[in-house]
Structure 1
Amino acid sequence: EAVALYTDLLVREDLLQLFGFTSLVEKEWHRLLMGVQGIGAKASMAILGTLGPDGVSRAIALGDWSAVKAAPGVGPKIAQRVVNELKGKAPSMMAMSGESLATVVDDGAVVEPVAVAVAPSGGGAQAEALSALQNLGYGPGEAASSVAQAAGAHEGADVSVLIREALKLLAPKG
């Protein structure tokens, strides 16, 4: 059975480690997590294994460091550092999650992309809602936070529902 993987090679003085990911979003989260001080490959894989790429996006956008702390080997200080350092990256990563696999090119031979069965996560709807809120003038952080909350409250909702609910959350309280 043919499988397409996204890989990341970690090169250190005494070690070469190859990591494989089923999606580009997961690979990019791994690279971002590895850039945080105190997060190594083991902790990054633990966070991604516990939350998944969409869960990491939501936790960071919402500032929910306790969700990040649920990963084995990640304490409260590291979890808070991850959330604080990556808060600005979550919106762009959430927007990426709706993209599909690209065609793989190897030695000039084009390999047709394998149809991947993906559970409907509403990633495309979330990305569109996020884009719409940013076009309305909301900042990336607040837009991502409200879209993530709306998506959590309304599983499988379409774009219009997510935008409406996110705008309700962003409306001035008074």
Structure 2
Amino acid sequence: MIGRLTGVIAEKSPPHVLIDVQGVGYELDVPMSSFYHLPGLGERATLLTHFVVREDAQQLFGFLTAAERSAFRQLIRISGVGPRTALSILSGLSVTELTQAIAQQQAGRLVKVPGIGKKTAERLLLELKGKLGPDLGTAGAAVANDAQADIVQALVALGYNDREAALALKALPPDVGVSDGIKLALKSLSR
């Protein structure tokens, strides 16, 4: 499975991105929340990924934060919600807004997303209740700088899930460097 890509952005056409990684171009679909925060053409970027293999296609989805990828994975577990619908939801609502809508059972906020009807919104509220908790909602906000994003990506690469990485990140001082942050996070996760 492809978990993360770091390379140069070769093409950008919403919602598609082409990242050149050592001469190999990877096509990714990204939510608009990630797309707007990507660097310009020719600049380096790191995206967390989710790889979907179907009978008729192989698709790679990219995310700037672990919280977005985790929310995407929760969404596609719901019957009737595929990767395209999950991308649409994450393009229309931030992870924090989605978490708040689920916690407050606000179907109206979900219905405003293109492609989400009343029945789908109600199913999302029912099936995601308790699954998109406060940890996930604040994880996107918690990854406020490059050092924190690098720490989360390192923890995920070491086999920790997105939620564990976000919790470990919360325990770190806000101005910690990458190497010290990884060491401190590993210590807190080993307890």
Same topology, TM > 0.5: yes
Pairing partner for 2:115 from 73, 81, 97: 73
Pairing partner for 2:131 from 69, 78, 89: 89
Task: Provide TM-score, normalisation by structure 2.
Answer: 0.52
Pairing partner for 2:86 from 41, 44, 67: 44
Where structure 1 has 5 or more consecutive residues not aligned to the other structure, the ranges are 106-123, 129-174
**1:37 partner amino acid:** S
Q: Deviations over 1:13-38 (max 9, x none)?
A: 11100001111100110110001111
Q: Deviations over 1:105-144 (max 9, x none)?
A: 6xxxxxxxxxxxxxxxxxx9xx89xxxxxxxxxxxxxxxx
Larger Rg: 1
Count of residue pairs brought into register by the alignment? 108
Where structure 2 has 5 or more consecutive residues not aligned to the other structure, the ranges are 1-42, 155-166, 172-191
Q: Which has the higher helix share?
A: 1
Task: Provide TM-score, normalisation by structure 1.
Answer: 0.57
Q: What is the CA-CA distance between 1:95 and the residue it aligns to?
A: 4.5
What residue in structure 2 maps to residue 61 of structure 1?
103
**1:8 partner amino acid:** H
Q: Which has the higher strand share?
A: 2
Q: What is the CA-CA distance between 1:52 and the residue it aligns to?
A: 1.5
**2:139 partner amino acid:** M
**1:35 partner amino acid:** R
Query: Aligned to 1:73, what secondary structure does the other structure show?
Result: coil
Aligned-partner Cα distance in 1 for 2:111–2:117: 6
Aligned-partner Cα distance in 2 for 1:77–1:22: 30
Give the root-mean-square deviation of aligned CA atoms.
2.2
Q: What is the CA-CA distance between 1:69 and the residue it aligns to?
A: 1.3
Q: What is the CA-CA distance between 1:102 and the residue it aligns to?
A: 2.8
